[in-house]
C-alpha cells in the first residue's frame, strides 16, 4: 500500500447520546492494525447529554504517541447528514477515503485494513469509477435482553429484510444501497455531500445521486460492522415507522429506488377489504396465511431460544405495520428530527 504523508483514511462518526458504546468503538479504532499515521478518527457530537462527551475526553487524554489522530468536533445542527458534511470541512487534504460509522457500532481490530482490501478488489471489478464500498451489518449477539434478541432475529429473517442496511449477502457485488460505506472523498465532493433535508435515509439518497452521476457502488461481506439493536418494542416501532417514512421521501426523489415487496402489506390489506366488500366468504384467508407464515418463522428460530416462538412473529408484525404506516405518512408530512438514535 502506498505510504502517504498524513492520514489517507478518515473514520467519521456522528454521535448523539452514545455513552453505552462509544468508548469501545473509539478504543477499537485507535488500536487498528493499519499504520496509525495512515488513518484518523473524527467524532462529531450533536449535543449529547448522557456523558458521551466526558467519556470521549477521558479516552483522548489517554492516547499515546502511537495512536492515530482523534478529533472531537461540535455538530450544532445534530443530524447525521450535517455531521458528515461538516466532517468534509475538517478533514486534511491527505485524506482520500472517508469511512462511515455510528457510535453504537463495533468493529474488529483489522477492520480498516479489511475495508481497503475490499476497495482494491471492488475497483478491479467496477466498470465505472468506484465511489464507495459498503459492509455487511450484523447484530451484537446481545442475549441480555429477550426483546433485543427478538429484534435481532427479525432483522436476520428474510421476512424482516429488504435490500438495504440489514441485507444478508455473501459475495462482493454491485449494489444501489451499501451500508457503512467507505467513500472516495472526491466522489462525495463531486455530488456536494449529503442532502441535509434527509433526516434519515440520507445515505440512500447519496447513493442514488452517486449512481446517477455515473459512479459505481459495491458491498462486501467483509469487513463486518456489528451494530447495537433497539432494546424495547416501542423503539423498534419508532425505527420501523421512521425507515418507512423516509423510504417514501427517497422514492419520491429517486423513483427507481421503489421496491414492490415493501408495499405487500398494503396490497394484502386492500385485497382483503375488496374481498370483504364483495362478500367473498374467504376474505380473511390472506391474513390467516400471513399469521401462519409468521408463526412458522417463529418456530424455525425457536431452537435458538423458546421465547422466539412468539417474540419473533411479534417483532416482524410490528416492523411490517410500522414501516407500512410510515410509507403512507411519508406522503403527508415533512418530517422532523428523531427523538432516538
Which domains, and CATH codes, for the chain? 9-231 (3.90.550.10), 253-329 (no CATH)
Contacts of 280 (CB under 8 A, 6+ apart): none
- Angle, helix 52-61 to helix 22-30, in steps of 10 degrees: 30
Mean pLDDT on 58-77: 93
Give the end-to-end CA distance of the chain in Å, rounded to a whole number.
36
Burial class from Cβ neighbours inside 10 Å (0-12, 13-18, 19+) for residue 230 reads buried
Q: Are 32 and 76 in contact (CB under 8 A)?
A: no
Q: 223: cis peptide before it, omega within 30°? A: yes
pTM of the predicted structure, to 2 decimals: 0.90
Between CA 204 and CA 254 the distance in angstroms is 10
Between CA 300 and CA 92 the distance in angstroms is 51
Position 145 pLDDT exceeds 90? no
- Dump pLDDT digits (tens) for 271-326: 999 999 999 999 999 999 999 999 999 999 999 899 999 999 999 999 999 999 99
SS3 at position 3: coil
Position 142 pLDDT exceeds 90? no
Question: In this structure, what DSSP letter does residue 20 have?
Answer: T
Amino acid at each position: 500500500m502506498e505510504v502517504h504523508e498524513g492520514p489517507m483514511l478518515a473514520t467519521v462518526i456522528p454521535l448523539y447520546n452514545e455513552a453505552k458504546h462509544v468508548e469501545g468503538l473509539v478504543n477499537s479504532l485507535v488500536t487498528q492494525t493499519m499504520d496509525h499515521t495512515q488513518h484518523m478518527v473524527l467524532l462529531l457530537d450533536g449535543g449529547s447529554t448522557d456523558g458521551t462527551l466526558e467519556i470521549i475526553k477521558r479516552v483522548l487524554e489517554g492516547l499515546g504517541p502511537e495512536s492515530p489522530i482523534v478529533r472531537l468536533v461540535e455538530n450544532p445542527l445534530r443530524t447525521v447528514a450535517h455531521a458528515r458534511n461538516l466532517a468534509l470541512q475538517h478533514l486534511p487534504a491527505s485524506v482520500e477515503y472517508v469511512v462511515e460509522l455510528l457510535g453504537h457500532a463495533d468493529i474488529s481490530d483489522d477492520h480498516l485494513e479489511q475495508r481497503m482490501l475490499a476497495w482494491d478488489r471492488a475497483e478491479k471489478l467496477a466498470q465505472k469509477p468506484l465511489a464507495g464500498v459498503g459492509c455487511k451489518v450484523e447484530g451484537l449477539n446481545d442475549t441480555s435482553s429477550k426483546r433485543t434478541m427478538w429484534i435481532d432475529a427479525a432483522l436476520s429473517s428474510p421476512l424482516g429484510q429488504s435490500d438495504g442496511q440489514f441485507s444478508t449477502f455473501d459475495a462482493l457485488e454491485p449494489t444501489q444501497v451499501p451500508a457503512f460505506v467507505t467513500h472516495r472523498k472526491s466522489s462525495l465532493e463531486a455530488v456536494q455531500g449529503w442532502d441535509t433535508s434527509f433526516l434519515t435515509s440520507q445515505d440512500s439518497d447519496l447513493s442514488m445521486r452517486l449512481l446517477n452521476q455515473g459512479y459505481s457502488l459495491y458491498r462486501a461481506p467483509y469487513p463486518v460492522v456489528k451494530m447495537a439493536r433497539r432494546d424495547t418494542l416501542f423503539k423498534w416501532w419508532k425505527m420501523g415507522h421512521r425507515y418507512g417514512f423516509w423510504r417514501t421521501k427517497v422514492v419520491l426523489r429517486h423513483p427507481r429506488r421503489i421496491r414492490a415487496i415493501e408495499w405487500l402489506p398494503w396490497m394484502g390489506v386492500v385485497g382483503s377489504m375488496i374481498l370483504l366488500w364483495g362478500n367473498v366468504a374467504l376474505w380473511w384467508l390472506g391474513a390467516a396465511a400471513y399469521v401462519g407464515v409468521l408463526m412458522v418463522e417463529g418456530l424455525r428460530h425457536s431452537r435458538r431460544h423458546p421465547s422466539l416462538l412468539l417474540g419473533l412473529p411479534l417483532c416482524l408484525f410490528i416492523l411490517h405495520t410500522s414501516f407500512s404506516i410510515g410509507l403512507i405518512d411519508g406522503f403527508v408530512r415533512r418530517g422532523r428530527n428523531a427523538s432516538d438514535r
